[in-house]
Amino acid sequence: MKNVAIIMGGYSSEYKISLSSGNVVYQNLDPSKYIGYRIHILKDKWVYVSTDNTEYPIDKSDFSVNIEGKKTIFDVVFNAIHGTPGEDGLLQAYFELLGIKQTSCDYYQAALTFNKRDTLSVLKPYGIKTATSHYLNLGDEINVDEILKNIGLPCFVKPNKSGSSFGISKVKTVAEFLPAIEMAYKEDNEIIIESFLDGTEVSVGVISYKGNTKVLPITEIVSENDFFDYEAKYLGKSKEITPARISEEIKQKIELVAKKAYEVLKMRGFSRSEFIIVNEEPFMLEINTVPGLTNESILPQQAREAGISLPELFENAIEEALK
């Protein structure tokens, strides 16, 4: 029996979604193989939460917990934290220093992919297409006319390091541009402004599965809103169609690009890449390394389509981490 610490929560706007993901992992672990421990990592506390909701503090010096006088250590950490500190490399580095195995990618890959600007910059030389973009750091001079001449309208203004579509705006007029920048800066001190890509949005999971890189079935995103924002993702304002209604030729192109990105970046564990298909070509938007893991989330939908149940998906992640 392996002790599995399922870390959930985090310090970002995504913490509630992460708690849901972590609880789904907890509920789907095979009890004959694993003892799951729900670990809430929050700004004000790191605690193990027992089945009766009693909280026991985590000893950060070795990531152990004292439960009624008995010290418990963990064989592996299942990372279900979306956003910082679970998706940006901070916890990956911490666990590496402690010598504890964990299910997500390594700390460098996590830090790189959490930064949209840097990820796309690394992938462009490999022929992976992206939107035209402009970057701003908090305090930079904002030349509206120059930026919009290059990017065009409509465009997207996004926090550079954030998830779940927090702080993202679709800007249609010049008057909306500066307020959108102000909103994005509430989530991050770096922002990315991208040209609007008019096409079909798809999402594809790539995972380490039984020792190999596996591309999962592609999901088509049809949002009721202007784009795949928070409401569309989590409040039912979208249709997620798996497998996507795309040609075999486009499907193969996306699979090739998604797998290439995963392997070029030396990823492991889960990933979910977002693309817009324009004129039969996939343009990459971003890569998520701790995607949602609830029953309704996209990657579990894709796994089910591939014939992989949630218990199988989570067991595989643990066993891959333990190698």
| pLDDT at res. 165 | 64
Q: Name the residue with higher pLDDT: 221 or 164.
A: 221
d(CA 29, CA 76): 13
Q: Name the residue with higher pLDDT: 40 or 187.
A: 40
Q: Name the residue with higher pLDDT: 295 or 263.
A: 263
C-beta neighbour count of 213 within 10 angstroms? 16
pLDDT at 241 over 90: yes
d(CA 258, CA 107): 20
Contacts of 270 by beta carbon, 8 Å cutoff, 6+ apart: 103, 104, 205, 207, 289, 290, 291, 299, 317
| pLDDT at res. 207 | 98
| pLDDT at res. 223 | 76
| pLDDT at res. 117 | 92
Say whether 172 sits in a helix, a strand or coil: coil
> Residue 27, Cα to own-chain centre: how many angstroms?
21
| pLDDT at res. 238 | 75
Structure tokens that stand for 25 in this block:
């992992």
Q: pLDDT-based confidence at 166, cuts 50/70/90?
A: confident
pLDDT at 216 over 80: yes
| pLDDT at res. 167 | 87
pLDDT at 163 over 60: no
Dump pLDDT digits (tens) for 242-265. 999 999 999 999 999 999 999 999
Which amino acid does the sequence have at 201? E
Dump pLDDT digits (tens) for 221-236. 997 766 544 454 445 5
Q: What are the φ/ψ torsions at residue 144 (nearest 5 degrees)? A: -55, -50
Average pLDDT over residues 34-51: 98
| pLDDT at res. 232 | 46
